[in-house]
Amino acid sequence: MIDEKVIVDSYEVNSILERMSLQIVETSHELNNLAIVGIKRRGVNIANRLKNHMNNFGKTGFLYGELDITLYRDDLTEINSIPDVKSSTIDFDVNDKIIVLVDDVLYTGRTIRSAIEAILDFGRPKKILLAVLIDRGHRELPIEANFIGKYIQTSSNEVIHVKVKEIDDVDDCVAIAKLDSK
């Protein structure tokens, strides 16, 4: 990759997540029946930020979980012969809950398909919604987000990187880079 460029700085990321958390609260009248579930890895960090914003607005009573989708991926054998499986932390009954799946970037839709399959193994939610920080288009499956932080149209030779302090040791930001054309 070459020429990575920050296109959303930490201030804008925070503003976007604050707006998204308000949208989630406004559309979810049953907070005691709501669960925010972050998709590992960076979806967990985004979900934590949404949760904190919701708490700052005085909205509490919703559930929180973290979901590992490694074994549900359709490209598992292409990634690594020995997958790095992490544990999911869903310490509540998902049956009849409104689940808000949270991820950093929505691209082909395959990650979200995997996440839906993983959630359904825990039970039968009342509804599954999707919140993403960035939607970059290029869907391969008929999956759309309910809550979108920012839509950034990309070409097939570009990649979006969401960076979070906990993983990348830099302030939260979104960067775009062109892939080497080798």
**Alpha carbon distance 70, 81 (integer Å):** 12
State the pLDDT at residue 29.
82
Q: What is the pLDDT of residue 4?
A: 92
Alpha-carbon torsion (18, 158, 152, 146), positive or negative: negative
Number of structural domains (the chain) is 1
Query: For 50-60, how does the pLDDT look when each residue is reduced to its tens digit (9 = 90+)?
Result: 999 999 999 99
DSSP one-letter string for 100-160: EEEEEEESSSHHHHHHHHHHHTT---SEEEEEEEEE----SSS---SEEEEE----TTEEE
Is residue 160 one of the residues assigned to a domain?
Answer: no
Domain that holds residue 98: 11-74+85-155
The answer to whether the predicted template modeling score (pTM) of the entire model surpasses 0.85 is: yes
The stretch 152-181 carries a mean pLDDT of 94
Return the CATH number at 114: 3.40.50.2020
**How many other C-beta atoms are found inside a 10 Å radius of the C-beta of residue 23?**
16
Tell whether 142 is covered by a domain. Answer: yes
Instruction: Give 97-111 pLDDT, tens digit per residue.
Output: 999 999 999 999 999
